Amino acid sequence: MTILNILRYPDARLHKVAKPVTQFDERLKTLIADMAATMYDAPGVGLAASQVDVHEQLVVIDVSETNDQLQVFINPEILWESEERKVYDEGCLSVPGIYDGVERPAEVKVRALDADGKPFEIHATDLLAVCIQHEMDHLKGKVFVEYLSPMKRNRIKTKLQKEEREEQRRRAER
């Protein structure tokens, strides 16, 4: 398994809309394994293919404490969302070190395909519901900071751009 490079906000590639997966082959299984390894290594609880510059509708999630309950969602769609909404402090592997409250439906019902192309439905609550919605946003080209005020978003963008410049300077000095 390969640890993939995670795109960092404000990289424009994070705003590409993902296309549906149509081929369930070895390439897809390898991508799923690599994405899972990348997510666990980061460490995180979810990763969308868009975040690793593969613009296909694929998400891996594991909200377990033991990192042994990987869930794969291919071509996911929300069938239902609750009227009740909750604010969760969200973070993102593409926006490292930044956490902020985002209001989302408290529960969702999702239909997707598994790694073999078999359809399934899941009713998600709590962290899983948040994670599914967050990762599905990535597939639509949306990053969670876009739910924040323009002032907060600009501060985050400036901070991450500065960190990136410093990292590039350090690499150049080596």
Q: Is the pLDDT of residue 149 over 90?
A: yes
Could you give the CA distance from residue 140 to residue 55 in angstroms, rounded to a whole number? 10
Specify whether the backbone of 126 is left (phi greater than 0), alpha (psi in -120 to 50) or beta. left
Residue 43 preceded by cis peptide, ω within 30: yes
Compute the mean pLDDT over every residue in the chain, rounded to the nearest whole number. 96
Does an H or E element contain 153, and which? helix 150-173
67: left (phi over 0), alpha (psi -120 to 50) or beta: left
Residue 58 C-alpha from the chain's centroid: 9
**Which residues participate in the annotated binding site for Fe cation?**
92, 134, 138
Q: Has residue 6 got a pLDDT over 90? A: yes
Type of residue numbered 112: A
| β-pairing verdict for 85-92 and 95-105 | antiparallel
pLDDT surpassing 90 at residue 26: yes
Domains (ranges, CATH) in the chain?
12-147 (3.90.45.10)
Annotated binding site: 92, 134, 138
pLDDT of residue 1: 87
Q: pTM for this structure?
A: 0.95
Identified catalytic residue from 65, 121, 135, 163:
135
What does the pLDDT read at residue 174? 83
166 labelled catalytic? no
Q: How far apart are CA 36 and CA 32, in angstroms?
A: 6
Tens of pLDDT, residue by residue over 79-120, are 999 999 999 999 999 999 999 999 999 999 999 999 999 999
